[in-house]
Amino acid sequence: MGRNGKYRSYSGAARRGAADNLGSMNRLVGLIVLTIALAAAFVSGSAGAPVAFQSTISPLGPALSAQMTGVSWHRGCPVPLSGLRLLTLSYRGFDGRSHTGRLVVNRSVAGQVVTAFQKLYRAGFPIRRMQLVDAYGGSDFRSIEADNTSAFNCRNATGSSNWSNHAYGLAIDIDPIENPYVSASGGVAHVASRPFVNRSRIRPGMAYPGGVLVNAFRSIGWGWGGSWSGTRDYQHFSVNGR
């Protein structure tokens, strides 16, 4: 408004310029809103999308063979390094997320083992961790203390002078804290396993008759140490049930 109280008249060019500026700003705001919406939808979709099970089977390379020699494998073991295979597998953690682990097994059962772990993954069965026993110096005790799922380890069977099925790569121990080795008298070697001696209350990671874990290995023809009489090895699955 001018000093004389009358409204000034804008020229046609000025009015068109103002309209153009307003239109450009509206388009910019709309573009920003659309970009934010698309990004949110993408993130939401990615978070909700299931991660597919993945696996590989490969011979032991020179580096891994050297790492295992003198630790989980040594001369005189009942299977040569060439008779073993490295499995890289997806597994579900206790956090519900997808992780990648490694197992060494006999080459004759590599495909079967992948099938069993694929069933576990799809069912959402939780596994604490899955590392080669070499990460624990070849110590079965230390691996169990870490609740580590493992397979090959050239050692004798517990309480025996005979080779364990683990020495052939034909056995796997899964979630060993939740699934302890229990003596005939009810004793366990690991303090963290004591609450799991009582198998009547089912908790995540446990093996039990008719459960996901037992059924997955039964489907490939493997036996379960939890079905033994006297001493029971709930973590133990093997090709011959021993």
241 CB-near residues (< 8 Å, 6+ apart): 222, 223, 224, 227
Q: What is the mean pLDDT of residues 101-123?
A: 98
d(CA 1, CA 110): 87
Residue 120: pLDDT over 50: yes
Q: What is the mean pLDDT of residues 99-115?
A: 98
Residue 131: pLDDT over 70: yes
Residue 22: pLDDT over 80: no
Question: What is the average pLDDT value for the chain, to the nearest integer?
Answer: 87
Residue 130: pLDDT band (50, 70, 90) is very high
Q: pLDDT by residue (tens digit) across 36-55?
A: 544 444 443 334 457 999 99
Name the 3-class secondary structure at 139.
coil
Instruction: Check residue 160 and give its pLDDT.
Output: 81
Instruction: Check residue 30 and give its pLDDT.
Output: 52
Residue 170: pLDDT over 80: yes
Residue 64: pLDDT over 50: yes
Q: Looking at per-residue confidence, does 39 or 111 come out higher?
A: 111
Q: Check: CB of residue 80 under 8 Å from CB of residue 168.
A: no
Instruction: Check residue 44 and give its pLDDT.
Output: 38
Residue 132: pLDDT over 60: yes
Domain ranges across the chain:
10-49, 55-238
Which residue, among 148, 145, 147, has the nearest Cα to 132 in the 3D structure?
148
Strands (E) located in the chain: 55-59, 84-92, 98-106, 171-173, 181-182, 223-224, 232-233, 236-238
Residues of the chain with pLDDT > 70, as a percent, come to: 80
Sign of CA dihedral 116, 85, 168, 94: negative
Q: What is the mean pLDDT of residues 195-213?
A: 97
In sequence order, the β-bridge partners of residue 85 are: 59, 105
Q: Looking at per-residue confidence, does 167 or 11 come out higher?
A: 167
Q: Looking at per-residue confidence, does 136 or 6 come out higher?
A: 136
Q: What is the mean pLDDT of residues 65-75?
A: 98
Instruction: Check residue 24 and give its pLDDT.
Output: 54
